[in-house]
Amino acid sequence: MLELLKLLQDGRFHSGEALGAKLGISRSAIWKQLQGLEAELGIEVFKVPGRGYRLSSPMTLLDAQEISHGADGLDWPITVESSVDSTNAEIFRRLDAGVRAPFVLLAERQTAGRGRRGRVWASPFAENLYCSVVLRVDGGMSQVEALSLTVGLAVAKALQSIGIDGARLKWPNDVLVEGRKISGILLELAGDPADVCHVVIGVGINVNMAIDVPAVIDQPWTSVRQCLGHMLDRNELAAKLLLQLRDCLSIHWQRGFAGLREEWEALHAWCGRSVALTAGNNATLGVVLGVDERGAIRLSVDGFDRSFSGGELSLRLQHDS
């Protein structure tokens, strides 16, 4: 079906005969694949007698070679899959199968996309970026301290590079535009936490998703398309994202998050806001002061400067802030 979709992605009419000739299959096989596009991937195909078939709107599929060309100088091998359950999960399977890090995996869709703390990540076909990068980490887990903040900064800088000046960072791993989520980050580790391990960096960015699409999103969200007023070639954004990841991670490995803290703070969305920091059923109320050199969130709590960090913490604005 993916080869058929590549022929249709220009949004023009193509006859069943012409499509069959190019793919070396019968017109009836073309018809079955078109039904599959609609049933399995949710892609609307117009069928007009005498003219043929076309998509309801043009699309640009991800292309590993095009992304590599746009990310000139990047030495991470890039693979694009049409569908996976989760790009992070697929990365782990490839590690188990002996594929050596570093490498990059992107998918046109995820059937079981995951966000932080087990949340569902909406992943419609060929609309957004679902990207995972795996890196080998020598020297133990201390190397990945505050890594989610570093990745968030890279995402924000990639979005700024395509014209979204309002991209801001919410601790610890969300990117917002005007208070609405445009990107999320999920970091997962495998291996010996005291020696050699792998970190899988999962990034989801809402790119061309329309405002009326997914009902599964339980918080205010936006997309690149909504911010810019037009659709974007996801290959361009993928290349810019990977370059920003490479550059920010290079600083992180050399100097730790301290080397990026000033840049991160300049984009801090909630500095000075009254928030509730929750861990399980416990909540701490305070005013956001910033982040420290280890990436912990700093709150003013009852007049005292306190720092908090941990994977199960959740930060929310107080209703009266």
Q: Which residues contact 226 (CB under 8 A, 6 or more apart)?
A: 211
Q: At what angle do helices 234-255 and 147-161 cross, to 10 degrees?
A: 140
Query: Would you say 240 is a known binding-site residue?
Result: no
Active-site residue, from 109, 116, 225, 240: 116
**Distance (Å, whole) CA 127 – CA 58:** 11
32 is in an annotated binding site: no
* Type of residue at 248: C
* Active-site annotation holds for 255: no
The annotation status of 87 as a binding-site residue, yes or no, is yes
14 within 8 A of 52, measured Cβ to Cβ? yes
| DSSP bridge partners of 133 | 104, 201
Report whether 181 belongs to an annotated binding site: yes
Give the separation between CA 226 and CA 248, rounded to whole angstroms: 27
- Note if 168 is an active site residue: no
157 is catalytic: no
Catalytic entry in 157, 170, 181, 298: 181
Question: Residue 37: what residue type?
Answer: L
Which of 32, 51, 255, 316 is the catalytic position?
A: 316
Angle between helices 16-23 and 27-41 (to 10 degrees): 90
What SS3 class is residue 38? helix
Q: Is 110 annotated as a binding residue?
A: yes
Please name the residues in contact with 238: beta carbons below 8 A apart, sequence gap of 6 or more. Answer: 62, 67, 70, 71, 106, 129, 131
For the beta carbon of residue 124, count every other beta carbon within 10 angstroms.
19
Binding site as annotated, residues for biotin: 86-88, 110, 114-116, 181
Residues flagged as binding site: 86-88, 110, 114-116, 181
* Residues tagged active-site: 116, 181, 316
